Amino acid sequence: MAPDLTCDLLGLRLRNPIVLASGVLGTSAALLTRAARAGAGAVTSKSCGPAPRAGHPNPVAVDWGYGIINAIGLSNPGAEEEARMLAEARAGLAPLGVPLIASIFAGTSAEYGMVARVLAGAGPDLIEVNISCPNVADEFGTPFAADAQSAAEVTEAVKAAVGTVPISVKLAPNVPSVGRIARAVVEAGADAITA
């Protein structure tokens, strides 16, 4: 008899706790559905921003012997096209009972809110707020995840934009006090933390 691995994530029933991480397969309905059929408990789309972005030129990933280091550069089609792709992915995942998580990024709190509002219209089960990437407002700027006040402002903007759609804020591990930042986003309305 197989063990029961079902679990609850913010009211979503997952058949197991394995979630496809953002960026691994993009947002293609065919690839996200493939991950669901392969056993993922939930799938996360590639992070999307307000406008199309080409990302960094190849090579963007290197195998260093103990894993892969990447610097994709947040390539994405922009919020409007991403919403269309998410709706298609949602239609393919719904019969499988696998939740869809939409990942977003932006350069300002207001942009985060706009992207969240557009993608919420596609019906994802959860929105992951990626504040951990430093290459947004400027290539070498401070990530929102490095400052509790900035992280809270982004969280508030997204929460106000999405209504009842739950949000999970994706934190960065390389900060002086991840606990302080986690508390700030939870106090600002985050339903969960992606870490």
Place of tokens 């009842």: 164
Place of tokens 């509002």: 117
133 is annotated as an active-site residue? yes
Angle at 176 between CA 180 and CA 60, to 5 degrees: 110
Pairwise pLDDT comparison (169 vs 142), residue with the higher score: 169
pLDDT of residue 67: 87
Cβ proximity of 8 and 14 under 8 Å: yes
Out of 94-98, 138-142, 162-166, which region has the weakest mean confidence (pLDDT)?
A: 138-142
Q: Tens digit of pLDDT for each residue in 118-162?
A: 999 999 999 999 998 765 555 566 778 899 999 999 999 999 999
Instruction: With CA atoms as reference, report the closest residue to 122 among 92, 88, 85, 83.
Output: 83
Q: Tens digit of pLDDT for each residue in 110-120?
A: 999 999 999 99
Tokens of 138: 């400027």
| pLDDT band, very low/low/confident/very high, at 70 (cuts 50, 70, 90) | confident
Average model confidence (pLDDT) across the chain: 92
Instruction: Choose the catalytic residue: 19, 106, 133, 162.
Output: 133
Instruction: With CA atoms as reference, report the closest residue to 41 among 100, 81, 116, 109.
Output: 100
